[in-house]
Amino acid sequence: MSKQRSQQAQVAAAIKKELKAEGITCRTSSSSFAGGDSVTVYLSNIPAPKLKEIDERFGIYQYGDFDGMNDIYEYTNSRSDIPQTKYLHINCEYTPEIRQAAWDWVKKNYNSEEVEAAPEKAEDLHTYHKQIFGLWASDVVFRVLRDSFFATSSEPTFWDDQAKKTDPEPPAKGKAKASEKAEGEGPAVSLNQEKNGVEITFSAKPGEAVRDELKAAGFRWSRKQGFWYAKQSPETLAIAEGLGAELSTDTAPTSDSPQDLTEAAPTLKDQQDLKKAEKLRTLAEKLQPKIDNAFADRLQNTPKRAAQAAHARLEGSRLERAQLGLNRLADAHQAGNVPEVLQGINSKKQVLELLSTTVEHVANGYHGYTVDTGQPRYDSPSAVALWDLIANTPDDRAESLELQRLLVDVKFSNIAGYFSTPEKVSSQLLDHIDLFPGCRVLEPEAGSGALCDAVKAQEPAAEITAFEVNYSLCKILELKGYAVNQDDFLLDTQAGCFDFVIQNPPFERQADIDHIRHAFDKLKPGGRLVSICSPGPFFRDNKKSVDFREWVEALGGEKYDLPEGSFKESGTSINTVYVVIDKPETH
């Protein structure tokens, strides 16, 4: 009884067989480990466009992808009709000769002082510790070989130039020389929509150059059907168009209803644009679950958790911007007005790179993090063009993200006298105030707006005025939509005009007494003040405390104790009380 091959071994064999049929030599290895298995394909000197096509084509053999943000493997591509593996790696090594050719190409096409100062030999770049175009010298060669070095430019790539060298007088892409074409020029092309295929039928056997070009593009000959076939792609459609083929589709009219086929079906260019648009929209749609996860609520009660949440939001902004770019690029392809410099942009990776932004570091103790500035990182023609496509799109999330960042930032910034009022305490204070539409409410030490938020939640039509001296806290209040005065409240000379004062003043050096008495002067006659306070003024025997107690008593004010640990979630275990004082009608 023969031993059954493992899934990963079957994947390796299938890939090796398919590449061999294309004339590509490869080596494969497969392995299994706790929790999964993997297959590695080793290639040599494969041009970047072909390598990318191989990588995308063989993606069907991988169950899914690893989501590093959530530390989980997502089985998004599981199939039962073919063998699959958990991880598929496509590796391609390049010989020293190819690396040298790539470096010579850089020196020829991108002459600069940095390039001139670099070694002549590519093999010496590994020990050359200076940057070229912002990259380590050895990385430049790697990116050239992978078409990711200035790949978004409209200029020819290294591999374009290599192709020209192999054919001193190359015919236009997809076109054979007239002398090598078969008799009966103008083969017929059928777009098989059901199988997403391109089928080319010649009236006679095509010349060797045509056959070689078809094979290189991935076409195969079907002896049974009598035509050449391949999956639809920009490359295969371009080949068909270059052969001067007459286009038809598998839904074309019969001979009983003659019709101009160029009118009955989209042109090959239209087909390419529509397929690109469909692909880009699919890529954009697949980003949504990751975006939702990145912006999901997370605990931020410690500096480490705050940093983790900030990293998630940064990734969410990056993905959401890429999603917008993919959709706008799809719209442009569908409308047929894609800028020239963006014609070759067809992957999520490219869009993410072009729409990347500069970042700013936020100090957060041992857990610093970076935030998105929203400013473009690159100013290349393709980056500018793609940013233009997404310009004038409302960013509904930007202010929300900025607000979240600032709230976390101030939470761990140790701002003197700042301890945000917990929701339970805010609610208890508001039990003593009968808010009404249009009432004027003063919050003299607004902080991050916890008490303002509580007032707004209870009476949306209340007119709230806030004072706050700290810049970051003022920014938070502005983002929340409050009218804020960035000034020391004790210096304000405005006459009494408020119906209510609700406050959480600083306690240092009995500053709470000064703030409460100054705030009381801002009340209208008949107004009410509710203020958090230190217990000290109600038991200390210094003159300031004694005078305060007598003042509260004379006005008929009341003191209430708050439960122990009421402000623990805000970072302090100090005991607190609050006072309720009414301003007499005739005061």
- Check whether residue 228 and residue 277 sit in a common domain: no
Instruction: Look at residue 81 and tell me if it is in a domain.
Output: yes
Task: Estimate to the nearest angstrom the gap between the alpha carbon of 5 and the chain centroid.
Answer: 41
Give the range among 89-98, 233-242, 318-327, 475-484 with minimum mean pLDDT: 233-242
At 238, the amino acid letter reads: A
CB 537 within 8 A of CB 513: yes
Residue 444 pLDDT exceeds 80:
yes
Same domain, 452 and 517: yes
Check: CB of residue 468 under 8 Å from CB of residue 446.
yes
State the CATH number of the domain containing residue 514. 3.40.50.150
Do 441 and 578 fall within a single domain?
yes
Predicted local distance difference test score (pLDDT) of residue 485: 87
d(CA 85, CA 578): 65
Higher pLDDT, 238 or 438: 438
Cα–Cα dist 449/527, whole Å: 21
Tokens in use for 435? Answer: 């808010």
Does one domain contain both 113 and 89? no
Q: What's the pLDDT score for residue 366?
A: 75
The beta strand positions in 449-553, using DSSP E, are 463-467, 483-485, 498-503, 523-533
Provide the residue type at 123 as one letter.
E
Separation of alpha carbons 553 and 524, rounded Å: 20
Per-residue pLDDT for 516 more than 90? yes
Q: Which two tokens stand for residue 329?
A: 């690029």
Would you give the distance in Å from CA 499 to the centre of its chain? 47
**Which of 239 and 450 is assigned the larger pLDDT?**
450
pLDDT at 244: 58
Tens digit of each residue's pLDDT (9 = 90 or more) over 310-350: 888 888 889 989 999 999 998 888 888 888 889 888 899 99
Q: What rounded mean pLDDT belongs to the chain?
A: 80
Question: Of 68, 63, 107, 105, whose CA–CA distance to 88 is shortest?
Answer: 63
d(CA 442, CA 446): 9
What pLDDT does 558 receive?
92
What pLDDT is recorded for position 168?
45
Give the pLDDT of residue 525. Answer: 92
- Of 399, 398, 459, 470, the residue nearest 430 (C-alpha): 459
Q: What is the DSSP letter of 85?
A: B
Q: Is residue 316 located within the same domain as residue 397?
A: yes
| Rounded-to-integer distance, Cα 190 and Cα 182, Å | 19
- One domain, residues 298 and 433: no
451 and 569 both lie in a single domain:
yes
Q: What is the pLDDT of residue 334?
A: 84
Please name the amino acid found at residue 582. Answer: D
pLDDT at 429: 92
Measured distance CA(509)–CA(62) in Å, rounded: 66
CA atoms within 13 A of residue 223's CA, in its CB half-sphere: 0
Report the percentage of the chain scoring pLDDT > 70. 84
Cβ-in-10-Å burial (0-12, 13-18, 19+) of 157 comes to: buried
Question: Stretch 433-438: mean pLDDT, rounded?
Answer: 92
pLDDT score, position 172: 42
Looking at the structure, do residues 442 and 570 belong to the same domain, yes or no? yes
Q: pLDDT, tens digit, for every residue of 8-61?
A: 889 999 999 999 888 888 888 888 888 788 999 999 999 988 898 898 889 899
Give the residue from 390, 411, 432 where a domain finishes.
411
Give the position of tokens 């792609």. Answer: 233
Note whether residue 263 is domain-resident: no
Same domain, 442 and 382: no
Which position has the higher pLDDT, 404 or 46?
46
Based on the fold, state whether residues 475 and 576 are members of the same structural domain. Answer: yes
Backbone angles phi, psi at 559, to 5 degrees: -110, 135
Taking 70 as the threshold, does the pLDDT of residue 248 lie above it?
no
Helix axes 450-458, 423-430, angle to 10 degrees: 50
Q: Please state whether beta strands 369-376 and 440-443 pair in parallel, antiparallel, or not at all (unpaired).
A: unpaired
pTM across the whole model: 0.41
pLDDT in tens, 252-303: 433 343 334 334 445 556 677 788 888 898 999 999 888 888 888 777 777 7
Assigned domain for 355 exists: yes
Question: Rounded distance, CA 577 to CA 557, Å?
Answer: 13
- Look at 190-204, 463-477, 543-557 and tell me which has the smallest mean pLDDT: 190-204
Domain's final residue, options 411, 439, 466: 411
Asked if residue 161 lies in contact with residue 145, where contact means CB atoms within 8 angstroms, the answer is no
Boundary-marking domain end, from 38, 61, 93: 93
Q: How far apart are the first and last CA of the chain?
A: 104
* Helix, coil or strand: residue 199: strand
Check which CATH number belongs to the domain holding 59 and give it: 3.30.300
Query: Which tops the pLDDT comparison, 1 or 364?
Result: 364
Q: Does residue 262 sit within a domain?
A: no
What is the span of the domain harbouring residue 551?
423-582
Inside any domain, residue 417: no
Note whether residue 396 is domain-resident.
Answer: yes
Kindly state whether residues 88 and 100 are assigned to the same domain: no
Residue 206 host element (H or E): none
Burial of 542 (0-12, 13-18, 19+ CB in 10 A): exposed
Instruction: Give me the pLDDT at residue 252, please.
Output: 41
Q: Name 73's bridge partners.
A: 66
DSSP string covering 281-293, please? Answer: HHHHHHTHHHHHH
Q: What is the pLDDT averaged over residues 467-487?
A: 84
Query: Which alpha helices (H) appear in 243-340, and where do they start and end?
Result: 261-264, 268-286, 288-294, 303-335
* CA-wise closest residue to 344 among 295, 402, 272, 415: 272
- DSSP secondary structure letter of residue 167: S
More confident residue, 11 or 486: 11
pLDDT at residue number 545? 92
Same domain, 149 and 289: no
Number of structural domains the chain divides into? 5
Q: What percent of the chain has pLDDT over 90?
A: 21
